[in-house]
Structure formats: structure tokens, C-alpha cells
A = this chain, B = another copy of it.
Amino acid sequence: MESWDLIIIGAGPAGLTAGLYGVRSGLKTLVIEEKIPGGAAADAPLIENYPGFPSVSGQELVAKMVEHCEKFKVPIKQFEKVVGMKLTGEKKLIQTEQGEYEASAVIIASGCNRRELNVPGESEFRGKGVSYCAVCDGAFFKGKSVLVVGGGNSAAISAIYLSNIASEVKLAHRRERLRAEEAYVRELLERKVEILWNTEVKEIRGDTRVRSVLLFNNKTGETKEVKIDGIFVQVGEVPNSQPAREAGVAVDAGGFIIVDSRQRTNIPGVYAAGDVTATPVKQVGVAVGQGIIAAMEAFGHIKKPYYYPG
């Protein structure tokens, strides 16, 4: 079994940052990633609020972070899925589909997955007009008509991005106001994205692929069928916290890991950072800050330097 000082689960902005700080602090540090590095940030068509990069694609930003980690020789194992953990002992055990590892401290930075609408047609037409990632699938909708569902930054950004590709972009939100930053809302209006307020998607219809959606107006009670070629679902996230939860890490009602201001979970030596935590602000800059604090706490826990409060 491989033995490490610090194992970080997930290689999004939080995990990469924690890896960088772990290695630079002299900890024998390993980052384990289920897919390729980048996390949800890599799916963002456009990031305008990570300080230092006025406008950058998510892909480009995470590529820079990965490059930064490579410069400092942060070991990242990709395509390795964590299937179990034992965290309560002094040595933490991490089991993946490929092997077993032990470490003195663990940082869970496994992020979120996109939440689904859970309506008829959604799973049937997944990849046939139903998408959860504008930057991944947008190019398939050149000159077509698309609907984005959601009201937060991710939904607004996806609609802005798609307005460069599709001939028509609508944004459906179940409330009367968007949650997205006003700068994005202004851009939506400038780009003539039609916003459908108080609107819920009830069904996705089609034949070999999506042809229309059934929309319900929760204010007027009216239901109508609207023709579209594609639907981009951006209605929030579900945390990738299952193995941690099963190992006894405390989570909130939504399954997000509860941390204190030092990124500590309820289990000594186990930390969490980024979108998997209960912090409501899911932003790259926040993930970075939390990754740093988690790594420095893990360092304190392992090395017990004179200034560590314990």
C-alpha cells in the first residue's frame, strides 16, 4: 500500500491549490482525480471574476493551474475513482478502483455534479439535445434554437456563451428574478436572450432527438409547448460527497460537507475545500482560498510546528 503524508481527493481549483501548497510545504502529497484535472471550472465557457484574469475560459484557467502544479511537481493520479475511505484512525485509508493508499491527512475537494431537472424525457434525450455543459456541447447547436434552464451565474454564463453560436437563446427561470451577478444579466439583455420568468420545464419531448419542451408558468398557471433544438440544464449542483459521508464525515441537508473557518470537518485530520463544502459561494477564488487553508491546516496537523494552534 502506498503511503503519503497528504492525500487530496479531486483536482479542481481547490484540490490543485491544496496540492501546490502541500508539495511546496514539503509534504509528500498526492492528488487523486476521478476524471481529468479541472473540475466544474473547466466546463465554464467564461470566467470573468477570478482576480488577475479579466476574461478567460474555464479550460484555459484550469490548464494554467495544472501547469502551475506541474512546475512544482505535484503528483496527480487521474482517472482513478475513490470507492471507499476509512478516516477515523490516525492513518487514513483511501480505496480507489485501482488500489489502496494511506495518509496522515486527507483533503476532500471532490466538487459537485450538475443537478438534474428530473422531468420526463430528460434522461431519454441526454446527449440527444439535453446537455449540462454549454462549453462541451454548444458547438452542436450552431444556428439552432436553444433553451437554458436556471437563474444563477452558471445559467447566465451558459446563455451568453450560447448566444455566440445558436440563432436563438431563451433562458427559463422558475422565479421572477435571476440570482446571477448583474454584470451577466446586463449582458444577457444586450445579447437579446429572451428571459422566461416564473417558468418551469415540465417535460422534454422529441423523436430521435429533442424537438420541444413543455413549459409551465407558475404565476399564470399556463402550460405551453415550445419548439427548441437543445436544452442546457443549469439548476444547481449535487455534491460528490458519498464516499466521505459513508466514512462518517458530517454533511448538511443537501449533502455538502460541513467545515469550520479552518476547513476542518468533524473528523480530525480530515479537511474539505471548494464546491463540495457547505459554503454557499461556489466560485473559483473561494475554492482557491479554501484549498490553501486546508493544506496549511493539514501541514499543521501532520508536522505540528511551533506556531500551530492544534
Contacts and interface: CB of A to CB of B under 8 A. Distances in A.
B68 A182 contact: no
Contacts of A17: 51, 285
Given A26-B182, A183-B72, A65 B52 contact: yes
A79 interface: no
Given A52-B61, A52-B64, A55-B71, 19 more contacts: A17-B51, A21-B49, A23-B183, A24-B183, A25-B182, A26-B185, A49-B292, A50-B52, A51-B288, A179-B305, A179-B307, A259-B261, A260-B261, A279-B293, A280-B309, A281-B292, A281-B296, A288-B289, A289-B290
A16 interface: yes
Interface string A53-76: 111000001001101100110000
Task: Give the number of copies in the complex.
Answer: 2
A286 B184 CA distance: 25
A150 interface: no
14 contacts: A13-B51, A17-B285, A21-B181, A23-B183, A26-B181, A50-B52, A51-B68, A53-B64, A54-B68, A54-B72, A55-B71, A281-B293, A283-B292, A285-B285
Contact of A54 (B53, B55, B71, B182): B71
Interface residues of A, number: 53
Contacts of A64: 51-53
Nearest to A182: B26
A260 B309 CA distance: 17
A175 interface: yes
By Cβ-Cβ distance, the 10 closest A-B pairs, closest first, are A289-B289, A26-B182, A261-B261, A24-B183, A285-B288, A24-B181, A54-B68, A286-B289, A52-B64, A51-B65
